Amino acid sequence: MIKKIAILTSGGDCPGMNVALKAIVNVAINNKIEPYIVFEGYKGLYDDNFAKITKEEVKFIDRKGGTMIYSARFPQFADLKIRNKAVANLKNRGIEALICIGGDGTYKGAAKLTEMGIKTIGLPATIDNDISSTDYTIGFNTALETIVNAIDNLRDTSESHNRINLVEVMGHGCGDLALNAAIITGAEVLSIPEKKLTIEQIITRLKESDSKRSKIVLISELMYDDLNKIARAIEKELKQETKITVLGHIQRGGRANCAERLLTARMANYAVKMLIANKSGVAVNISNNKLNVKNLLEIVEMKRPSKDELLREYQQLV
């Protein structure tokens, strides 16, 4: 029976990380397991930056954005010497298991620790929804809501002023945030990594649109070198003023919404349950509203599910 576990959040933060932490602490203590937190993800594991945590300390954190145990990107963890020290730090404290909350980079780190004899469980947390084994990642729903609120606001002013808005959202190579936001907001044009449009195609779609005044062109980040060039080309062809809005890190902040809190609490409970059942080297997923675990390395290698059906639905709806 596991006596002590540690919890860390790693990579880009997202709404829901604090919800996960609170739930893990509660479930662990309810099952007579002592929980420890690690500050700043794998960096803290290496720096020996741990603290014991109580239910009282996490009582209200589910209402807050960010992660109270901080996060970091720590590529140095790929180095065996760094990992050896991290494992030694865990062993010196008698901690046998680790719950790693984050995206695919976090999963790779957890898989390495599993090979080195630490029991690990991953929880998928990233706004990008780019972990193929799960229908939803923690953080996605709230970031989507932030995007939708921003686009709704832009729509108001763009309709008043007869403008086009070029809106860039995050996703890190995955179009889920943009595609789902396009369905919800009725964005007139959508360009995502899974179906990238040329500047000419963007202009053609705008010309074909039935919208008379405001038009939203929703694009995923990291796809075009110069948004300004696209905006000027649109203005020239459509003779309509075109503004650019890059939503940026606003998408990563804020309190997790209800759906997020429910999903996260369920996933976190399941993660501790899986540790107690002696599972290791796996991460929690939700598929068709059912929780399951899959091997960490298999998850990292998995092909992304096709977006074609959802794209067809978007095209019908706009």
Give the closest residue to 246 by CA, choosing from 173, 318, 165.
165
Query: Distance (Å, rounded) from C-alpha 297 to C-alpha 112?
Result: 9
Pick between residue 170 and residue 197 the one whose CB is nearest to ligand F6P.
Answer: 170
Binding mask 257-296 toward ligand F6P (x if CB under 6 A, else -) reads: ----------------------------------------
Compute the Cα dihedral for 165, 171, 172, 173 and give only its sign.
Answer: negative
Please list, in sequence order, all residues whose beta carbon lies within 8 angstroms of the beta carbon of residue 262, skipping any fewer than 6 positions away: none
Rule CB under 6 A: is residue 108 a binding residue for ligand F6P? no
Residue 210-249 contact track with ligand F6P, rule CB under 6 A, x = bound:
-----------x----------------------------
Minimum distance from residue 176 beta carbon to ligand F6P (Å):
11
Least distance between ligand F6P and beta carbon 140 (Å): 10
**Contacting ligand F6P within 84-103 (CB under 6 A):** 103
Q: Which of 172, 195, 243, 279 binds ligand F6P (CB under 6 A)?
A: 172
> Interface with ligand F6P includes 12 (CB under 6 A)?
yes
Cα 88 to Cα 1, 95, 118, 226, 278, distances in angstroms: 21, 10, 10, 47, 21
Catalytic residue among 13, 62, 104, 128: 128
CA distance 150 to 258: 19
Q: Which stretch binds ligand F6P (CB under 6 A): 15-23, 121-129, 179-187, 263-271?
A: 121-129
Whether 128 is a known active-site residue: answer: yes
How does strand 189-191 pair with strand 34-38? Answer: unpaired
The answer to whether 254 touches 18, Cβ cutoff 8 Å, is no
Does residue 127 interact with ligand F6P by CB under 6 A?
yes
**Residue with Cβ nearer ligand F6P (50 or 224):** 224
Give whichever of 170 and 274 is closer to ligand F6P, judged by the CB atom: 170
Q: Which residues contact 315 (CB under 8 A, 6 or more apart)?
A: none
CA distance 178 to 93: 44
Residue 134 tokens read as: 């799960």
**Binding of residue 43 to ligand F6P (CB under 6 A):** no
Catalytic residue numbers read: 128
Residues engaged in binding ligand F6P (CB under 6 A): 12, 73, 103, 126-128, 170-172, 221, 252
